[in-house]
Structure 1
Amino acid sequence: MGGACSRKRDQQVNEDSVLRGVSGRYCKSGSSKWLANSFSRPAVDSKQGRGKCPSLMELCIYKIREDIDKYNTFSMLPRDISQQIFNELVYSQCLTEVSLETFRDCALQDLDLGNYPGLKDSWMDVISSQGSSLLSVDLSGSDVTDSGLILLKNCTNLQSLNFNYCEQISDHGLEHIGGLSNLTTLSFRRNNTITAEGMSAFSHLVNLVKLDLERCPGIHGGLVHLKGLTKLESLNIQCCNCITDSDMKPLSGLTSLKELQISCSKVEDYGISFLKGLYKLALLNMAGCPVTAACLESLSALTALLYLNLTRCNLTDDGCEKFSGLRSLKILNLGFNEITDACLVHLKGLTNLESLNLDTCRIGDEGLINLTGLQRLRCLELSDTEVGNNGLRHLSGLVNLESINLSFTVVTDSGLRKLSGLSSLKSLNLDIRQITDTGLAALTSLTELTHLDLFGARITDSGTIHLRNFKNLQSLEICGGGLTDAGVKNIRDLSSLTVLNLSQNNLTEKSLEIISGLTQLVSLNVSNSRITSAGLKHLKPLKNLKSLYLESCKVTANDIKKLQATDLPNLENFRPE
C-alpha cells in the first residue's frame, strides 16, 4: 500500500495459498509467523481491563509464565494442564532452552514451535522425551539439523511433522523419519538439499495423507517412491522447476489424490495425460506450467474436478472448446493467457462456476455476454482487460456476485450504474483513473460492500459524502485522489473499518484527529501527505493497529517507536522504520 498510483503488479504464481493466489514470502530473521499458532488464547487485556474475564485456570497459567524460572518440572501435572502452560509460553515468546527442560517427560501431544526463535538440535532431547504421546511437531524455520531428527525415531505415534524452511535438513535426516509409519502429514517446503535418492524414505510412510515439497528443486525423479502411498490425498510440488512430464507417471496410480499442485513446473500436455485416472482429484493447480488447451482433453476425464488454475500457461483460443466438458468446476483461473472473447463461448455451460479469473486476458465487452447464465458466480476478476461500460450490462443479472475486480479496465462513471442492482456485492476494486465522484455516487445502493478500492481514482472531498452509505466497509482505499481533511470527515463514522489507505492525498494531522475514533483499524496508510509528528498523538486510541505507514511525511522512525512503546503495543510494521 502506498507508492505510485499505477500499481499493476507483474504477478508471480508462487502461490502459498492456491485458492487466493497470493504470493508467500518467508523471512527467517525477525519473523512473527510463530504468532499464528493453532491454539487459542483468551481475549483479555489486563492493561486496558477489556475482554472476557479470565478463568481461574488461565490466571494460574499466566502466573506460572511470569514465575517460570521457579519451576523445575511439570511432569507431575495432568497432561492437558502442562500443554496449556507450554502453549502460553510459546505464544508469549517466553519459552527458552532452560524453561523447555521443565517439560521433559510431560507426555505432551502437540508442540507448535513453527518459526520460534532459537530452536536448534539441543532442544530435541526434551521434545523427543514426550515419547509415544507426541502426535504433532512443527519445527519450521528452525536450525534443527539431521542429527536432531535422530531423536524423533522413538516418537512412534507421530502423525504430523512440519520442517518447512529447515535449511539444514538433508537426505540423511529423511532416513530418521522413514520409520514413523503413523505419519499422515509431512511438510518440507523450501529445502534445497533433499534429493530423489533421499525420498526413498517416504516409501515406508504408508499412512501418509498429505505431503508438501513446495520449492524443493532437487526432487526430480523422486516421485517414483510415492507409488505405494495409496492413502495420499494431497501433494504439493509447486515451484519445483525440476519437475517434468516423467515425474507425473508415478502419480497415475495414486487414485486417492484429491489435491495436486504442480504450478511453476515444466510439466506439459503429455505429463497431464498421466492424471486421467485420478477420479477423485478435486483441485489441480498448474499455474505457470507450459501446457496448452490440448491438456483439457485429459482433464475432461476428471469428473470430480472443482478447482482448476491455468494462470500464466500457454493457452490460446485454439482448443478451448474442451472447457465445455469441465461441468463440475466451481473455480477457474485463466488469468494472464492469450485468450479472447472466443474462448468465453465455451464457458457458457459451466453453470456451477462460483469464481472466474480472467485477469490480463484479451477479453472485451461482447465476450461477457457468455457469462450471463453463470448464476452461481460469486467472484469475477476482470482486471487489465478491455472491458468497458457496455460490457457491464451483461453482469447486471448475476445477482450472487460478491466480488468484482475492474481495475485497469476502460470502465468510466457511466458504466458503474449498471452495477447498482448487484445487492450482494461485498468487494469492488475500481483502480481506474477515470472514476470520479459521479461514479461513486452511482454505487450508493451497494450497502453490503465491505471492501472498496478506489486506488488512483479522482475522488474529491465532495465525493466522499457518498461513503456514508457504506456502513459495513472494512477496507477502504482512496489513494492519489484529491482529498483534504474536509473529505476525511465523511469517513469518521465507518466504525467497521480495519484497513484504511488514504496515501498521496493532501492531508494534515487534522485527518488523524478525525479518524482517531476508528478503533477497529488494524492497518493505516497516510503516506505522501503533509502529516507531521505533532499529529501522532491522535493515534493513541487505535490500540488494534498493527501496520502504520507514514512514508514521505515529516515523521521519523523514532517518533513512531515512541508511540509504539507507550500507546500502540500491537504495532508490528511501520514506515519509516
Structure 2
Amino acid sequence: MDVISSQGSSLLSVDLSGSDITDPGLIYLKNCMNLQDLNLNYCDRISDRGLKNISGLSKLKSLTFRRNSAITAEGMIALSSLVNLLKLDLEKCPGIHGGLIHIKGMTKLESLSIKWCNCITDADMKPLSGLTNLKSLQVSCSKVTDFGITYLKGLQRLSVLNLEGCSVTAACFDSLSVLASLSYLNLSRCNLSDDGCEKLSNLVNLKVLNLGLNDITDACLIHLKGLTNLESLNLDSCRIGDDGLAHLTGLQNLKCLELSDTDVGSNGLRHLSGLHKLESINLAFTVVTDGGLRELSGLASLKSLNLDARQITDAGLAVLTSLTGLTHLDLFGARITDSGTNHLQNLKNLRSLEICGGGLTDAGVKNIKDLSSLSLLNLSQNYNLTDKTLEMISGLTGLVSLNVSNSRVTNAGLRHLKPLKNLRSLSLESCKVTANDMRKLQSASLPNLVNFRPE
C-alpha cells in the first residue's frame, strides 16, 4: 500500500480484489485524489470503518465491493459523498438492507448491482426511484416483490434489469411496460404464471428475455408474437410444447433459443425452420428425435446446437451435415456409434464437440482426428476407448480442454498427449491413470495445464 500511495494524484485505477487488505490499509488511498476505479471484491476484512477511509475519493467513477458481510447500512453513509460514481457493485453484501438511502444522491449512477443480497426488500427500492440515469440494475435473489418494482417507473434510461429469483409475478409488467429503453429482462425463477402475461406484449424493445424455470405454458407464448426485436429467448424448464413454438415464427431476429427440459418434440421444430438468424439452440432433455432435426437443417446461421437426448442416433447426425457453420455441438447422451462419426467430417468449423453416449470405440475417433479447429473435446462415458484414441487425437494441437473419462485409457497412453501444448484442462477420471503420472506429464510436457483429474 505504500507503493500505491506513492503514486498520489497520478493513480487512476486500483484493483485490490481478493487481497488481505484491512480497514487501516485503505487510509493509504487518501493521497490518490484522482482515483476513478477502485475494485475491492472479496476483501472480506474491510468493514464500515474502512468505508470512511475512501469517502473522500470524490472523483471515483467505479466502486466494486462484491461478497462482503461486514458492510452494513450504517457504514454506507460514507458512500454518500461519492456523487460522481457511474458504477456501484455490492453483490453478495448481506448487511446493506436500509443502506441504499445513502446513494440517492448518486444521480450520475448508470450501473448498480445488489444481486444475491437476500436482505433487499421493497423498501430498499424506493431510494432508487430518483436515479434517472440508471441503465443497468441487478436485483436478483432478493425479497423484492411487484410493489418494489413500481419504484422503477421513472427510470426511463434503464435498459438492463435482472430480477432472477425475486418474488415478482406477472403483475410487475404493469410497471415494466413503461420502461421504453428496456432491452434485457431476466425473470428466471420468479413466480410467473400465464395469468397476467398478456402485458408482456408491451415490452416491444426487448432483445433478451429470460422466462426460464417459471410455471408458464404455451398460452403465455402468444404474447411474445409482437416482440420482433428479440435476439435471445430462454424458456428452460417451462411447460412449453410443440404448439407454443408456433407463436415464435415471427421472431425473425432471434439468434439464441433455450428450450431445454421442455415438452418440445420433433413436430414443434418445424415452426423454427424459418428463423434464419438462429445461431444457438438448446434442446437438451426434450423429446426431439432424428426426424425433428430435418427442420433445423436449413438454418445456415446455426453455430451452437445442444442435443443432450437419447432419442438422437446416427441418422440424426447425418441430417446435421448441412450445418457447416456449426462451431459447438453437444451430443451428450445421444446414441452415436462409430459409423455416425463419418458425418462429422463436413463440420470443419467445430470448436467444441461432446459425444458422451457410450457408443464410440477407437474406430470412430478416426473421423474426429482431422477436426483441426477443435479447442474442446469431450468423449467421456465411452467405455471402449483406449490409448489408441489418445494417439489419434494427438494432432489436435489447438485443444484447450479434453475429457476422456470413464474409458480404458491407461498411464501408457499419456505420452501421446505431449504435443498438446495448449491444453489447460484434462480429465481422465475412472481410467487406469494415476495422479502422479498426470503430474509428471504436466511438469515435463504440458506447461499450460492448470486443471487435471485425477489430481
Q: TM-score range by the shorter chain?
A: over 0.9
1:220-277 deviations in whole A, cap 9, x for unaligned?
A: 0000001110100000000000000000000000000000000000000000000000
1:541 Cα deviation (Å)? 0.4
Q: Deviations over 1:444-480 (max 9, x none)?
A: 1000000000001010000000010100000000013
- Counterpart in 2 of 1:521? 399
Report matched runs for 1:194-233 at 5 Å.
194-233=71-110
- Distance in structure 1 (CA, Å) of the matches to 2:386 and 2:35: 57
How many Å separate the matches in 2 of 1:126 and 1:425? 51
Instruction: Spell out, residue by residue over 1:38-59, the C-alpha distance to the aligned partner (whole angstroms, 9 max, x if none).
Output: xxxxxxxxxxxxxxxxxxxxxx
**SS of the residue aligned with 1:177?**
coil
- 2:319 pairs with 1:427: no
* 2:27 pairs with 1:175: no
Partner of 1:127: 4
**Aligned letter for 1:444?**
T
Which one-letter code corresponds to 1:390 in the other structure?
A: N
CA distance in 2 between counterparts of 1:570 and 1:389 reads 43
Q: Deviations over 1:531-559 (max 9, x none)?
A: 00000000000000000000000101110
- Residue 220 of structure 1 aligns to a residue whose secondary structure is coil
Q: In the aligned structure 1, how far is the partner of 2:358 from the partner of 2:8?
A: 61
1:308 matches 2:185? yes
What do the CA deviations read for 1:392-417 (whole angstroms, capped 9, x no partner)?
00000000000000000000011101
**What residue is the counterpart of 2:342 in the other structure?**
465
Alpha-carbon offset, residue 126 of structure 1 = 1.4
Please list the CA deviations of residues 506-549 of structure 1 after superposition, one character each: whole Å capped at 9, or x if unmatched.
10000000000000000000000000000000000000000000
Indicate the residue corresponding to 1:343 in structure 2: 220
Q: Which residue of 1 aligns with 2:437?
A: 559
Structure 1 spans left out of the alignment, 5+ residues: 1-123
- The residue number in structure 1 matching 2:265 is 388
1:273 counterpart residue number: 150
Partner of 1:120: none
What are the residue-to-residue correspondences of 1:28-427 with 2, within 5 Å? Answer: 124-427=1-304
Instruction: State the secondary structure of the residue aligned to 1:415.
Output: helix
SS in 2 for 1:491: coil
Among 415, 422, 425, the residue aligned to 1:544: 422
| Counterparts of 2:140 and 2:336, CA distance in 1 | 39
- Alignment partner of 1:280: what SS? coil
Paired position in structure 2 for 1:532? 410
Counterparts of 2:346 and 2:235 in 1: how far apart (Å)?
Answer: 30
Aligned counterpart, 1:501 = 378
What do residues 338-386 of structure 1 show as CA deviations (whole Å, max 9, x unaligned)?
A: 0000000000000000000000000000000000000000000000000
Fraction of identical pairs, as percent: 78
CA separation in 1, counterparts of 2:346 and 2:118? Answer: 49
Between the two proteins, the alignment pairs up a number of residues equal to 454
Whole-Å Cα distance in 1 between the matches of residues 434 and 47 of structure 2? 45
Letter in 2 for 1:174: L
For the residue of structure 2 that corresponds to 1:442, the secondary structure is helix
Secondary structure, counterpart of 2:88 in structure 1:
strand
User: In structure 1, what is the Cα distance between the partners aligned to 2:137 and 2:394?
Assistant: 47
Structure 2 CA distance, aligned partners of 1:365 and 1:571? 44
Question: Which amino acid letter does the alignment assign opposite residue 571 of structure 1?
Answer: L
Letter of the 2:105 partner, please give it: G
Aligned counterparts of 1:301 and 1:172: Cα–Cα separation in 2 = 41
**Deviation at residue 202 of structure 1 after TM alignment:** 1.0
Q: Residue type of the partner of 1:388?
A: G
Partner of 1:75: none
**Displacement over 6 Å in runs of 4+:** none
1:574 maps onto 2:444 in alignment: no
User: How far 1:127 moved relative to its partner?
Assistant: 1.3
After superposition, the C-alpha distances for 1:315-345 in whole angstroms (9 at most, x for unaligned) are 0000000000000000000000000000000
The answer to whether the 8 A contact 2:331-2:357 is kept is: no
1:153 match: secondary structure = helix
**Which residue is 1:510 aligned to?**
388
Aligned residue in 2 for 1:58: none
Q: In the aligned structure 1, how far is the partner of 2:402 from the partner of 2:244? A: 38
Q: 1:265-307: CA deviations, max 9, x gaps?
A: 0000000000000000000000000100000010001000000
Query: How many Å separate the matches in 2 of 1:342 and 1:325?
Result: 16
Residue by residue over 1:200-233, the C-alpha shift from the partner in whole angstroms, topping out at 9 and shown as x without a partner, is 1111001100000000000000000011101000
**Where in structure 2 are there 5+ consecutive unaligned residues?**
none
Letter in structure 1 aligned against 2:432: K
The residue aligned with 1:451 is: 328
Q: What is the alpha-carbon distance in structure 2 between the residues aligned to residue 260 and residue 390 of structure 1? A: 39
CA distance in 2, matches of 1:177, 1:403: 45
